[in-house]
Structure 1
Amino acid sequence: MNDATATAQTPDILQIGDAAPNFQARSTMGTVSLSDFRGRWLILFSHPADFTPVCTSEFVALSRASERFEALGCKLLAVSVDSLYAHLGWIRAIRDAFDVRVAFPIVEDPSLIIGRAYGMISDRSPDAATMRSTYFIDPDGIIRAMICYPATVGRSVDEMLRVLAALQRVDADNVVTPEGWRPGDDVLLPPHADQAALLAGAADPLWFHRSRPDRKDAST
């Protein structure tokens, strides 16, 4: 029997900057609560269904990349409407077919409590399958980024790692990251916030696009 419970009052539509709704539910690694992950980064992601081709490709790739997420201090947590026993059967099938051990918990949500709290399930959806929703949750439990794909398009593990690294980079220093940024690339400086600073740099034709090497000790 599913015992998922959502304990936070959530807005109609979750947005970046909102607190991630807490929940407690059964998973393939025991009962988990979102609050268990407080104090470190978490990527919570939904998948439409077990034993499906796109989802299987994602779980194989994510499991193989699990150490790369760990290196960034980030845990992974999956959720779908399938039952715990379906999850367990799928994990075994992935191990047998691909020689891959799924290295993160998969939460069951057959009652749709979690999916509805996070907006993973559209009111116009013809069935209960979730979209491929991905939530980047910081150590304080705040949603910092969200990415959503349709059921027919698989996620990019490299993009998930890139977004995570970029979020951590801007938190560590007074910088922002440009298009396609990856660790080691040049970073951008925030725009001037006052008239004096702006006019002092008026001779610089790129005053609105100031970059510098990605060194945390570099002067801004």
Structure 2
Amino acid sequence: MPIALGEKVPDFTVNTSKGPITMSSYKGKWVLLFSHPGDFTPVCTTEFMAFTERYDDFKKLGVELIGLSIDSVFSHIAWIRDIKEKYGVEIPFPIIADVNKEVANIFNIINPADGMTVRGIFIIDPNQKVRWMAYYPAEVGRSISELIRVLKALKFNWDRKLATPANWQEGDPGVMGAPGTLEESYAREKDGAERWYLKRVK
């Protein structure tokens, strides 16, 4: 069964453009795992360069990036070399060579129409549970700024135990979870909440 939101990622060891990695070795860290349809493709190339441009922002957040497709490690190496030679961009993170589709099947990212990996993205928390996932069509590139916003929101929730409202940005108030009892709902109103079910916290 493919993994669902909130479930723990099973351990696996795979080969990458930077050598073998094991999922359990990332325990205690935030991980952003993202798949792409194929090496040497136009949208994917722009995405990998965009991830690299913001790599320092991810590192400041304590987030590890891991790419993935079902291409071979030799294909990954050739593509990385080409990006560096043509654009001067050196990809700093590992790309999983998932030729046997082991990881792709865990995350349900195989397109049944062509057998290739779809443009999926998964944020995994320090307990190795999937906290956020999204799928994009092959023709739509991802917004790196939105991914960083989501990561900041998840880390805010992790640290403060507060949810984030629509369009939340770093520095904005969070919101408390809904009250679980009638008494709590009255206490919220007395405590100055705008509504008994909505209380913002700076």
TM-score bracket, normalised by the shorter chain, equals over 0.9
- 1:107 positional shift: 0.9
Unaligned runs of 5+ in 2: none
* Aligned-partner SS, 1:114: helix
Contact 1:46 1:133 in 2 (8 A): yes
Task: Give the corresponding residue for 1:26.
Answer: 15
Task: Give the corresponding residue for 2:123.
Answer: 136
Contact 2:65 2:94 in 1 (8 A): yes
For residues 152-208 of structure 1, the C-alpha deviation after alignment (integer angstroms, 9 at most, x for no partner) is 111111111111111110111131101121111121122222211212344655222
Q: How many residues align?
A: 200
The share of aligned pairs that are identical, in percent, is 34
Quick one: structure 1 residues 159 and 16, their matched pair in 2 at CA, closer, same or farther if it must change by over 3 Å? same
Task: Give the corresponding residue for 2:55.
Answer: 66
- Asked if 1:150 corresponds to 2:137, the answer is yes
- 1:71 positional shift: 0.5
- Asked if 1:118 corresponds to 2:115, the answer is no
Return the letter of the residue paired with 2:35: S
Alpha-carbon separation, structure 2, partners of 1:84 and 1:208: 51
Alpha-carbon separation, structure 1, partners of 2:127 and 2:189: 39
- 1:22 positional shift: 2.0
Choose which of 153, 167, 180 in structure 1 pairs with 2:167.
180
Alpha-carbon separation, structure 2, partners of 1:18 and 1:201: 32
Unaligned runs of 5+ in 1: 1-11, 214-220
- 1:128 positional shift: 2.1
For residues 11-70 of structure 1, the C-alpha deviation after alignment (integer angstroms, 9 at most, x for no partner) is x23211111122211111111111121111101111000000100010000011111011
Return the letter of the residue paired with 1:64: E
* Aligned-partner SS, 1:18: coil
Return the letter of the residue paired with 1:137: I
The equivalences for 1:32-111 within 5 A come to: 32-111=21-100
- Give runs of ≥4 in structure 1 deviating > 6 Å: none
Contact 1:81 1:111 in 2 (8 A): yes
